[in-house]
């Protein structure tokens, strides 16, 4: 099993969700987050004084999937979230040791 | 006594009163959230404190029988002899009405200064300073200009308080920042306004109240009041536009805070001139006010002082520009005196002398008062209290439970 964390632009959330749903993903967790990558954040100006705002708003979408779906999902998400502008975000894939569905006690792929 | 004038000035006094809570919102939105209550309180408490000082001694010192062109006498102490019948400088209004209209000016003027020392002053010493300032700076200034003192006698034009209200508070603000020093972290970390919609709301209330401030200064429901109303609006409108244009040119975006700041800059600039210039004169004064005050806010980065909410840049410089502009754009057919553009350069000289006199007196005496209060009570909150914010450290409250 793998966890896929997608950090992307807030306005891309709906498209990423649709792409994931289309591939049969049934659940996901979404968090509003702030952060920056290599391009840093943006400038704000108050009465002529400039402030560098490093942390820009992003959303983080987390899904846990079966190993064999990774390539498919990464490609679908990349296509859905891409704007070709700086700040499109990142996808992190990491191994998951165990998944338990609390209601039934099921474990592993059954519980995803 | 004139019923229409009385009705009009009653409403105007109420309008001016509303400016102080408006100012509280204007300033508080620009402060950080941990200081929102401390900042609104700086203005709001003066509705109480300054009003009392005014009715007890301030009115008498301002409008009592002239002593040497410098100060009023004690004849109206505790409002002695100030009643519902006409009196004081007006014959068309109840004396009490003139007194309370002027009271609202005495409330908002020290409140204007508070933008300079926002986010770092102790509450008690601030109140003590405000009381002393009303007695030793505001009352003499008010007497000089409107109460029969030397500045009015010299022929200086100040329709609604360019010197009395705006330059005086600007000069005191400069004294404040020199005595208090910078806020902790100033220059190294960003100090971002915590609620700009609040600031816009406050600016809107100020603009609304300013009609009472300037039109009411005609002290009658007449053509002069109408002229002042129109010049006030036109100048504010022009300054919004000129501030935004210069900002767009200089920084690339027209900002909300810029629009609010421009409005106030235009209102400040037209205040001394409102009853002496035409609407087109007001347009020029407003356009100039927006540009000059936009430049004024950068003075603090040049001279390295921390005027937290730009009182020097906007009220000080805006008032100075307005006073000088009155000497340039005044028209005899409007207010009885011609300015430079209409063949009377002498008026500009008189205005210049009034500017120097106002800045000199108000700065020096305010500086002394700040030093005295600092020595006796300590002006500045401790480092821990400053970092924790004035809301908790000075008032045992927090503004937001989010």
Report how far apart the first and last C-alpha atoms of chain A are (Å, whole number).
9
- From chain A, the residues in CB contact with B253 under 8 A are 45
Write the CA distances from B218 to B8, B213, B324, B328, integer angstroms: 10, 9, 20, 21
Residue B400 included in any domain: no
CATH of the domain at A7: 3.30.70.120
Q: What is the pLDDT of residues A37-87, one digit of tens each?
A: 887 888 888 887 888 888 889 999 999 999 999 999 999 999 999 999 888
Let me know if residue B401 belongs to a domain.
no
Question: Is B333 inside a domain boundary?
Answer: yes
Instruction: Report the residue of chain A nearest B192, measured CA to CA.
Output: A46
Task: Calculate the average pLDDT of chain A.
Answer: 92
Rounded to 5 degrees, φ, ψ at B49 are: -65, -50
**Do A48 and B192 count as a contact with CB atoms less than 8 A apart?**
no
**Given an 8 Å threshold on Cβ–Cβ distance, is B261 in contact with A47?**
yes
Total number of domains constituting chain B: 1
Q: A46 at the B interface (CB within 8 A)?
A: yes
Q: How far apart are CA A81 and CA B77, in angstroms?
A: 74
Q: Which helix (H) or strand (E) holds B367?
A: helix B345-377
Asked if B251 lies within 8 A of A49 by C-beta distance, the reply is: no
Interface touch B257/A50, C-beta < 8 Å: no
Nearest alpha carbon to residue B369 among B179, B215, B217, B146 = B179
DSSP states of B122-144 = -HHHHHHHHHHHIIIIIHHHHHH
Nearest to B320 by CA among B343, B342, B299: B299
Q: State the CB neighbour count (10 A cutoff) for residue B14.
A: 15
Please identify which residue in the block is written with the tokens 């002393």: B132
| pLDDT level of residue B212 (50, 70, 90 thresholds) | very high
pTM of the model: 0.89
Q: Note down the domain range covering A42.
A: 2-111
Whether residue B398 is contained in a domain is answered as no
Question: Which residues form the domain of B95?
Answer: 3-393
pLDDT tens by residue, B190-200: 899 999 999 99
Give the chain A residue whose CA is nearest to the CA of B261: A47
Q: Give backbone dihedrals phi and psi of A29, rounded to 5 degrees, phi first.
A: -120, 130
Sequence-distant (6+) residues with CB within 8 A of A7 are: A33, A35, A58, A59, A60, A89, A90, A91, A92
Number of domain units in chain A: 1
Q: How many other CB atoms are there within 10 angstroms of residue A90's CB atom?
A: 12
Angstroms from B169 CA to nearest CA on chain A: 20
CATH of the domain at B277: 1.10.3430.10
CB B59 within 8 A of CB B102: yes
Please name which of B185, B199, B220 lies closest in space to residue B306, comparing C-alpha atoms.
Answer: B185
State the average pLDDT for chain B: 97
Beta strands at A56-65 and B71-72: parallel, antiparallel or unpaired: unpaired
Q: A52: nearest CA in chain B?
A: B190
Of B190, B192, B294, the CB nearest to A48: B294
Query: Considering only CB atoms, which chain B residues are within 8 Å of A48?
Result: 247, 250-251, 294, 297-298
ipTM at complex level:
0.74
Tens of pLDDT, residues B93-130: 999 999 999 999 999 999 999 999 999 999 999 999 99
**Best residue in B32, B190, B257, B299 to probe A by mutation, most A CBs within 10 Å?**
B190
Q: What contacts B118, CB < 8 A, 6 or more positions away?
A: B27, B30, B31, B35, B38, B39, B42, B308, B309
């Amino acid at each position: 099993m793998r966890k896929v964390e997608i950090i992307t632009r807030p306005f891309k959330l709906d498209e990423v969700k649709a792409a994931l749903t289309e591939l049969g993903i049934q659940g996901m967790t979404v968090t509003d987050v702030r952060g920056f990558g290599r391009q840093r954040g943006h400038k704000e100006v108050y009465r002529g004084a400039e402030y560098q705002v490093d942390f820009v708003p992003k959303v983080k979408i987390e899904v846990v999937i079966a190993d064999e779906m990774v390539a498919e999902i990464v490609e679908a998400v990349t296509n859905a979230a891409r704007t070709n502008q700086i700040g499109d975000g990142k996808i992190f894939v990491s191994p998951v040791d165990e998944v338990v569905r609390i209601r039934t006690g099921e474990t592993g792929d059954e519980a995803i | 006594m004139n019923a229409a004038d009385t009705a009009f000035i009653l409403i105007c006094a109420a309008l001016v009163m509303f400016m102080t809570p408006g100012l509280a919102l204007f300033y508080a939105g620009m402060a950080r959230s941990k200081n929102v209550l401390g900042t609104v309180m700086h203005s709001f408490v003066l509705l109480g404190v300054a009003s009392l000082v005014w009715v007890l001694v301030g009115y008498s010192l301002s409008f009592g029988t002239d002593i040497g062109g410098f100060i009023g006498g004690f004849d109206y102490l505790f409002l002695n002899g100030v009643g519902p019948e006409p009196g004081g400088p007006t014959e068309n209004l109840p004396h009490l009405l003139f007194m309370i209209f002027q009271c609202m000016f005495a409330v908002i003027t020290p409140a204007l200064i508070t933008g300079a020392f926002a986010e770092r002053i102790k509450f008690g010493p601030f109140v003590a300073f405000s009381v002393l300032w009303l007695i030793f700076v505001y009352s003499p200034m008010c007497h000089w200009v409107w109460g029969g003192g030397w500045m009015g006698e010299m022929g200086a034009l100040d329709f609604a308080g360019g010197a009395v209200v705006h330059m005086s508070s600007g000069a005191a603000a400069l004294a404040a920042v020199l005595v208090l020093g910078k806020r902790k972290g100033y220059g190294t970390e960003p100090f971002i306004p915590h609620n700009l919609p609040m600031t816009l709301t406050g600016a809107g209330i100020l603009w609304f109240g300013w009609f009472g401030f300037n039109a009411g200064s005609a002290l009658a429901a007449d053509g002069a009041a109408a002229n002042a109303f129109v010049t006030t609006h036109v100048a504010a409108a022009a300054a919004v536009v000129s501030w935004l244009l210069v900002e767009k040119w200089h920084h690339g975006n027209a900002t909300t805070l810029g629009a609010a700041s421009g409005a106030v800059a235009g209102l400040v600039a037209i205040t001394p001139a409102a009853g002496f210039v035409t609407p087109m004169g007001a347009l020029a004064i407003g356009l100039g006010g927006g540009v000059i005050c936009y430049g004024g806010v950068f003075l603090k980065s040049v001279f390295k002082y921390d005027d937290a909410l730009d009182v020097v840049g906007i009220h000080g410089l805006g008032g100075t520009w307005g006073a000088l502009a009155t000497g340039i754009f005044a028209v005899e057919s409007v207010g009885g005196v011609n300015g430079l553009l209409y063949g009377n350069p002498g008026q500009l000289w008189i205005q210049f002398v009034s500017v120097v006199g106002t800045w000199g007196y108000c700065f020096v005496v305010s500086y002394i008062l700040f030093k005295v209060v600092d020595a006796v009570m300590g002006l500045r909150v401790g480092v821990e209290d400053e970092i924790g914010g004035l809301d908790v450290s000075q008032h045992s409250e927090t503004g937001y439970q989010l």
